[in-house]
Structure 1
Amino acid sequence: MRPGTRILLVEDDPAITSFVEPELERRNLSVRCAYDGREALAQVEGFRPELVVLDIMLPKLDGVGVLTGIRRSGNRVPVIMLTARDTTLDKVHSLDHGADDYLTKPFDIEELVARMGALLRRVEGEEVLRVGDLEVNTATREVRRGERGIDLTQREYELLEFMAKNPRRVLSRDLLLSRVWEQEFGIPTNVVDVYIGYLRKKVDAEGEPKLIHTVRGAGYALKEK
């Protein structure tokens, strides 16, 4: 799993959170804990986790209620249900409501980590482009750099997505114009420079390592130094 991956652990048993949280942090994951269902939904919106480990038996709102709320909002974040229940009916019920996996307590931390990794690999391979700490989610068209969300216009997003699909590659102005602007004729090549300038202001904030690089006489590249 990529260092810094955001994990939300939803569990009201402090004995479990006090064990699982440091184990995940030791693997360089960014972990937040929620101790009831209402708090979990707030954390999903605010923290924007990349994976949720969700207990079924929770105060205020149970895990299935949390899962239902997540899916109704259109959020497809992977969710592993974590519970003491071990009946087929409970498993089917959770999966029917949109869970991606199910692990019964007591569990081995290595098995949990392995299941988390498998889910993240599946989702990342399909949807998320990464260059350094920049993330471009091609399914939701959301862009983040570290903990910071980045708001882009449609054209800015299309330009950044194409560059993220070709990391480290030097992309000429003509190539970017033909791929991003496609059939729009009569557009001068300097429009690429203008939009690169827009992206730089949003992607490369002050104090952050630059990801958008100018290759003199050749074009632009999206890469870590």
Structure 2
Amino acid sequence: MHILIVEDELGIVQFLKQGLQEEGYQITTASDGSKGFELIQSQKFDLILLDWMIPKINGLDLCKAIRIKDQQTPIIFLTAKDTVQETIEGLKAGANDYIKKPFSFEELVERIKVHFRNKKQTENLTLGNITMDLTRHIVLKDEEEIAMTQREFELLAYLIEHKGKVCTRNQILRDVWEINFEYDTGVIDVFMNAIRKKLNLKIEEDYIKTIRGIGYIAND
């Protein structure tokens, strides 16, 4: 998951970037609202951590600008502003959450996980003519439902969520199987073969490619 941090205090940026990268997140940073808005227009982020008091475009105005074109990406305010009126103002601007500085890093990580879970539960995933309805937990190919086991569903969703990026077998074991120790990665190939067989992918439907010796990549 790709997180944008818009924050002008260098110490906080370095602290958050290192900690969140260790949690497995991809991090991009901006030190002012103008740069943050520029990044948001050119890249897709899964969550935004936004300070209120930042140069050029303040966090409140940036949040409003984001919401004009993007209603889905979770935004968490990180700020010293903590009056009831300021909290209400931030939420009305479109923020999903509000954490007062100084804050616990552990609490922030848990809140991020909650927003990602909520985001996943309301999204559909697509890959070519394949659609995954995460709310109803079904897979459709050309509008025909494809029956999959829980693990097959989770593996396919993971590859589509990381569309365009190579997913190594070890990453898949860690994030899908939740295995953080040495384990036979061959089990992933077994599940991938089952998924491909169920989807009955034709030659022109080369949506999931094997990267020999490394893992898999999904692409439209």
TM-score normalized with structure 2 length: 0.64
Name the stretch that deviates more: 34-43 or 123-132: 123-132
Amino acid of the residue matched to residue 164 of structure 2?
Answer: R
Which of 11, 18, 23 is the equivalent residue of 1:27? 23
- Aligned Cα root-mean-square deviation (Å): 2.9
- In 2, Cα distance between the equivalents of 1:75 and 1:16? 27
Which of 76, 80, 97 is the equivalent residue of 1:84? 80
Amino acid of the residue matched to residue 93 of structure 1?
Answer: E
Q: State the 1:46 CA deviation.
A: 2.6
Aligned residue number for residue 122 of structure 1: 118
Deviations 1:15-69 (A, max 9, x none): 1111111000111110111110011112223331100000011100011111111
Q: Percent identity?
A: 29
1:170 aligns with 2:181: no
Which of 66, 69, 78 is the equivalent residue of 1:70? 66
Query: Does the 8 Å contact 2:210/2:217 carry over to 1?
Result: no
Runs of 4 or more, structure 1, over 3 Å off, are 202-212
Larger Rg: 1
5+ residue gaps, structure 1, are 137-142, 148-166, 174-191, 213-225
- In 2, Cα distance between the equivalents of 1:123 and 1:107? 23
State the number of aligned residues. Answer: 162
5+ residue gaps, structure 2, are 126-154, 167-193
Aligned residue number for residue 165 of structure 2: 146
SS at match of 1:135: helix
Deviations 1:137-193 (A, max 9, x none): xxxxxx83239xxxxxxxxxxxxxxxxxxx8373365xxxxxxxxxxxxxxxxxx73
Query: Does the 8 Å contact 2:5/2:28 carry over to 1?
Result: yes
SS at match of 2:82: coil
1:39 aligns with 2:35: yes
Gap change, CA 1:172 and 1:16, over 3 Å in 2: closer
- In 2, Cα distance between the equivalents of 1:64 and 1:203? 41
Query: Does the 8 Å contact 1:78/1:99 carry over to 2?
Result: yes
Which of 98, 101, 112 is the equivalent residue of 1:102? 98
TM-score normalized with structure 1 length: 0.63
Pairs within 5 Å for 1:2-17: 5-17=1-13
Gap change, CA 1:40 and 1:88, over 3 Å in 2: same
